[in-house]
Amino acid sequence: MNDGIRTHDRLDHNQELYQLSYVHHGTDPRARVVSIAKAMRLTHGPTSPGVLQSGNRSGMLRSTTVREGGQVKPSLAPGIEHELRFVVPDTKTVPQLYPESTEFAEMPEVFATGFMVGFVEWACIQAIAPHLDEGELSLGVHVDLSHDAATPVGMEVVARVRLEAVEGRSLTFAVEADDAHERICAGSHRRFVVDRARFDAGVARKLA
């Protein structure tokens, strides 16, 4: 660890560089800082209990091939928004995050931070799915999210994400989430578009 920053899984042999960074404090001098221009404050309506809904509000769908030089489709552009709703089950609570951990087992049965992060990633994955070519996928490489309030089992949560910046294959989202009573999460998330076959080949080389 150097100045609070640990970086691993850097597959430099891939054209689609995948770098997974955990930033504890400070700023990686190799990274360009992408600022989130504004907070997202959108309204939403009620959903019946037990119903999972999602909606992509982008109007920029068009078919095109992958650009040369590591570029993405022109339709994968800032402004894409998406909303995902989910009713929290008992399998997504803090004690279920690591069943092997006695420490987690003693924690309250509320929506776990780890599962909340996955929920936000899920919304981002859905947001850009129509804009990826066959064989491409996006991988989460950075999260900067607050967890502002506890959500009990059985309550609906809704994530709203907006693609704010596209730099090559790097995508930065502004995100927030609410439950039926209040905001539970806000921040930013970064994903990287990769070729699945090349990524899998790189992972396989680590096991060889």
Catalytic positions, please?
113, 121, 147
Local structure of 71: helix, strand or coil: coil
Which H or E run contains 173?
A: strand 170-179
Asked if 123 contacts 84 with a C-beta cutoff of 8 angstroms, the reply is yes
Asked if 156 contacts 171 with a C-beta cutoff of 8 angstroms, the reply is no
CA 30 – CA 7 distance, rounded (Å): 11
Size (the chain), residues: 208
- Taking each continuous run of H as one helix and of E as one strand, the counts in the chain are 3, 8
